[in-house]
Structure formats: structure tokens, C-alpha cells
């Protein structure tokens, strides 16, 4: 155990964990929105994030983006990346709901069927991007699909530099951008759910679908809305991931999706602010654990912490459901 390393650089590890956890939190919002309304664990949401990373990669590839472009171009590429990733992930999430989940709801399928369907969809997308698309588009997009199932690098849009130092803690521009952007997106979503007319409809359906229908709330539109919102958050996370880590792969969503789901459960699944808290907490715990033990223990530590927290707080750290969120 490396206690000296952890304590001696506690601030640095905390900053690293916050920037990593912010991405987990954005992805976790998709899980918590869908569960809050439908009581459905959408395990295919991890591949919605994966689609967003490939959308960013394809966009930058087609624009001919190179490493370290000028500031003006970098901002333009990031904005375009956000729009394209959000559209791709949001559209994918909506398509999943319309094609797969909606027919099951109409047939009153049991929850287990939804769960199996979600896992099946996840595997379909992994193979689609790992095997089918490389065969179809490998010649047209060799830098994206030329190496099936392999990690694909992305251009460096913003060179990582230290902005300022507090004690022995260096805070970089990438860390600051990722954290501020993620928190801003989550704050905007929280405001939308709690302060707008559409958000009231979401909370009404989450709390009591039958009564909401009697009051004139269109349940199908609400369900479509939460899938699109969750997809947009996953798309934003995909852009931030591309900035911070700079690579993607057809199976990239698997472990990240499990960790984001863990973050949602830690915070209290069905609770938007709980997803934020759970994501940040999980990111910090992962970095602390990797420093204290070894980096290959990172994933194990995350799930051990989940088990320990749920032993004492079965509903998560906050535990308030989406339907009971206060306006």
C-alpha cells in the first residue's frame, strides 16, 4: 500500500478523481432518468455513449482535424463535436426506445424481458461497431473503421497545460473544462426537470403514471423525452471523454456503463443530484484506490465501495426518487 503517495498528493488525486467522476455522472443521468420514470435498467445506454464517441471521431476525421489547432478552430471543433455527439446519442437512445422498448410496453412484458432486451441491444451495438461497420465502411473511413475492434486514437484538440497550482496540486485546462462543462450540463438538466412545464410532466409520470394521464400528460411523449435527454447527456460525456482521454473502441461503453450505473445506484438511482454525487464520489474513490493499491485494482475497488455503501444505505446516498423531486 502506498499511503505516503496518497497522502502526499491527496489534492492532485482528488482533482483527477473529480474530472473523471464528472464523466461518470453525465452518463449516469441516462440511467437515472429512465429508471425514475419506467423502473427500467437500460443497460444499452452504455452503447449510446459509445455511439457518441464514434460520432465525434467521424466528424473530426471528415473535417481533417489535426493535433493542436488554433484556438478559434479548436472551439469550433468542440462545439460541432458536442452538437453531433448529442444528436447521434440522443437519436440512438430514441431509436432504441421506439424500436425495442415501446413494443414491449404495449404488450405489458415483464421487467425481466426488458432487462434481457437491453443486454441484447448492448451486444448488438458492440458487434455492429466492431465487425459490421468496419466491413461496410472500412474502405471509406480507414482511420475510423480500418482496424476492427481495436482502440482508435483521436486528435488532440486542446493541449493539456497546467493553468495554476495550489500547493502541490496542479490543475490543468482539460480537467477544469471537463468538470465545469459536466456540472453545467447537469445543472441545466436539473433546472429543466424541476422548473419547466415538460419537467413537471416527467415528474408527474414518474410519481403516478395513471394520475398523470388523467391530468392530460402524454406519457409516450414523456418517455421519448427522457430517452432523448439521457442520450444528449451521454453525447456530452462522449465529447468530454474524447477531450480528456482521446480514444474510443467498440467495447468502450461496457466498463464505463457499469461504472456509470454504479454511480447512479450510489447516489440513489432515480435521483438526478444523486447521479452527480455518485459519479464524483466514484471517480475520487477509484483514483484513491488505484494510488493506494495499484491501477489494476481500480475497477474492483469501485464495486466494493458500491457494496459497502448499499449495506448501510440501500437507497443510495440521497435516495430520493425522480417523482418526488421538489420543484
Segment 22-66, tens digit of pLDDT: 999 999 999 999 999 998 999 999 999 999 999 999 999 999 999
Residue 199 lies in domain: 3-158+173-312
The count of domains in the chain is 1
Which residue intervals of the chain are DSSP H helices?
3-8, 10-38, 45-62, 71-96, 102-106, 111-127, 133-137, 142-145, 173-195, 197-207, 209-214, 219-244, 252-267, 272-292, 298-312
Q: DSSP character for 64? A: T
* Mean pLDDT, the chain, integer: 92
- Angle at alpha carbon of residue 237, lines to 293 and 98, rounded to 5°: 125
| Domain-embedded: residue 259 | yes
Pick the residue with more confidence: 176 or 321?
176
The percentage of residues in the chain with a pLDDT greater than 90, rounded to a whole number, is 76
325/250: higher pLDDT: 250
Q: Does residue 204 form part of some domain?
A: yes
Give me the CATH number covering residue 77.
1.10.3470
Q: What's 148's DSSP letter?
A: T
Instruction: Give the model's pLDDT for residue 324.
Output: 56
Give me the residues paired with residue 165 across strands.
Answer: 170
Its pTM stands at 0.93
Q: Is residue 168 part of a domain?
A: no
Q: Answer yes or no: are the C-beta atoms of 324 and 37 closer than 8 Å.
A: no
Amino acid at each position: 500500500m502506498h499511503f505516503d503517495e496518497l497522502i502526499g498528493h491527496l489534492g492532485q488525486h482528488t482533482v483527477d478523481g473529480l474530472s473523471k467522476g464528472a464523466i461518470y455522472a453525465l452518463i449516469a443521468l441516462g440511467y437515472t432518468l429512465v429508471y425514475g420514470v419506467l423502473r427500467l435498467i437500460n443497460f444499452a445506454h452504455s452503447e449510446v455513449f459509445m455511439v457518441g464517441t464514434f460520432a465525434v471521431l467521424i466528424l473530426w476525421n471528415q473535417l481533417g482535424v489535426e493535433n493542436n489547432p488554433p484556438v478559434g478552430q479548436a472551439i469550433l471543433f468542440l462545439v460541432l463535436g458536442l452538437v453531433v455527439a448529442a444528436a447521434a446519442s440522443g437519436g440512438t437512445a430514441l431509436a432504441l426506445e421506439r424500436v425495442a422498448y415501446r413494443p414491449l410496453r404495449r404488450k405489458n412484458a415483464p421487467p425481466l424481458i426488458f432487462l434481457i432486451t437491453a443486454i441484447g441491444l448492448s451486444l448488438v451495438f458492440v458487434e455492429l461497431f466492431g465487425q459490421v461497420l468496419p466491413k461496410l465502411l472500412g474502405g471509406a473511413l480507414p482511420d475510423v473503421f480500418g482496424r476492427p475492434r481495436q482502440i482508435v486514437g483521436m486528435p488532440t484538440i486542446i493541449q493539456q497545460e497546467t493553468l495554476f497550482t495550489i500547493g502541490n496540486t496542479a490543475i490543468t485546462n482539460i480537467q477544469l473544462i471537463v468538470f465545469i462543462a459536466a456540472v453545467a450540463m447537469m445543472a441545466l438538466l436539473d433546472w429543466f426537470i424541476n422548473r419547466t412545464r415538460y419537467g413537471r410532466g416527467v415528474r408527474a409520470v414518474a410519481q403516478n403514471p395513471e394520475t398523470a394521464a388523467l391530468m392530460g400528460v402524454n406519457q409516450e411523449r414523456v418517455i421519448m423525452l427522457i430517452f432523448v435527454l439521457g442520450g444528449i447527456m451521454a453525447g456530452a460525456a462522449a465529447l468530454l471523454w474524447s477531450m480528456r482521454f482521446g480514444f474510443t473502441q467498440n467495447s468502450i461503453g461496457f466498463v464505463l456503463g457499469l461504472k456509470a450505473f454504479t454511480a447512479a445506484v450510489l447516489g440513489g438511482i432515480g435521483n438526478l443530484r444523486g447521479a452527480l454525487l455518485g459519479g464524483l464520489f466514484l471517480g475520487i474513490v477509484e483514483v484513491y484506490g488505484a494510488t493506494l493499491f495499484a491501477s489494476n485494482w481500480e475497477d474492483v475497488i469501485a464495486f466494493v465501495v458500491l457494496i459497502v455503501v448499499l449495506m448501510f444505505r440501500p437507497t443510495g446516498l440521497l435516495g430520493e426518487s425522480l417523482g418526488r423531486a421538489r420543484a
